[in-house]
Structure 1
Amino acid sequence: MPEQAPPDGGADPEAGDGIAAHVPNPPPESADADAHVDSAIARLYGEPLLHLPTDLYIPPDALEIFLDAFEGPLDLLLYLIRKQNFDILDIPMAQVTLQYLEYVEQIRKSNLELAAEYLLMAAMLIEIKSRMLLPKRVDTLVEEAEDPRAELVRRLLDYEQIKVAAQQLGALPQEGRDFVRPQLHIEQALGPVWPQVDPHDLQRAWMDVLRRAKLTQHHRIGREELSVREHMSAILRTLQSARFVEFSELFGGQASVPVVVVHFVAMLELAKETLIEITQAEPFAPIYVRLAYSPA
């Protein structure tokens, strides 16, 4: 007996080659995701940001454009020309003037004092544009008038040349900013350097010797001839036997004030002729006398 066919619209679940029932596909999720990404106003850590945070603080001046970023009206005007690759010898005054006024209008409301010189340049641009719109006189006797933009072009070219030169100078290495000069102390003399004898110390030492000489003076009246050369020779003989001799020891064998004076003059003559040296280790230290140092 033949098998009965299943009802229309169904299939035999036991049949391997039956037709499966049609189930509608769910809507794709990728389309919604793309729509959210397109509507995102920003990305935060890689995630799209769909709404502005309610607790976000934006300073009042965060979006303002300050003209002090430029070094003057010429700097702003040159920036507008070079940014749009305009020919500086054939400036489209209408476009440049409109863009310039947009920049100045943003700062005029909040800082009129800063925008004063920029407003002056804006007036000059408007004047140049007005002169270019005036009809030209048809007169063969009158020479062709100069281009109203000529003076402005000349000023822009001069300013650009100076600006480029300033940038080149600023790129050069500067001491204190890019490098520092090394400082190295070099000892010039290898021999011992004795401190200079203060004349006041020498005077005090001499007064001390003179005071002691007065204590041992003899009350004998007589005429005595003293030779400075002889005392110079005596001092040299004394110094040959010792490396250093204290200043007061040179006057140990002198008996009277005149002899001490002559002996002191002889010592000064030897120092003047650089045959002896008068040294002192430190201020207020004993003064020593020695033969002049002569290298081998």
Structure 2
Amino acid sequence: MKRVQPVVDAVDLLAAAPAGEVATPQVIDHVAVARLYGEPLFSLPQDLYIPPDALEIFLEAFEGPLDLLLYLIRKQNFNILDIPMAGVTRQYLSYVEEIRSRNLELAAEYLLMAAMLIEIKSRMLLPPRKTAEGEEPEDPRAELVRRLLEYERMKLAAAGLSELPHYGRDFLKAQVYVEQSLAPRFPDVELADLQAAWRDILGRAKLVAHHKISREELSVREHMTLVLKKLQGRRFAPFEELFDIEQGAPVLVVTLLALLELGKETLVEITQAEAFAPIYVRLAYKAPP
């Protein structure tokens, strides 16, 4: 929020001098009236221009409309829960008029608060609204009081924090360096440093890791023999019992190829009683010659 100060122009003080007299500084070094960049000036320039806001005397400082309103209330010991709106509004408007004559852009937010004060005062002049039995009518100043109390709490908290010692503002940390020429001291290694170094080594090891894929040679003929051995002495064998699931997918594929090859060579029969019924495998029956 912008910072605003009521001011008194030093130019106005110059204008208040008696007619015919020019306010000039005292003589410096008993010779020159002033010095500019180290060079003496023996008389004031005739075309010297002093802007209206060149020299100002700061009297009070406010952080915004709420700060000004709170200042007016606390300065006159008003009860913040029962603000006399007429007197406070009158003093506030006189201050806003002073700001507007000097900085119209800065006075915009103050004018908004002035309009709010006038609205509250006008609502207080109107008859109170009817409420339910046993309830007090709403006070038009309630919202303004809430904002003022909240702002005051924040301002006091900020002032309390500002009073605490601040590093770099109120004190500095002393640092003393002692050179040890005879017994050099090495930096201490903390546990966290060792953990970070170990994680870095593991990360680099993962970047150079190798993955080797081994090739397992499986024989279809060998598994054809194994299937025939499982069917020996059995009339029928369920299709799924011929597969060993624990040996992995490669062995299952080779076993299936072996069954298909046995069926192609009419060494086994694969039967099913009806659709969706279990599948059975048996040795092929060959009539004697």
TM-score w.r.t. the length of structure 2 is 0.43
| Higher CA-based Rg | 1
TM-score w.r.t. the length of structure 1 is 0.42
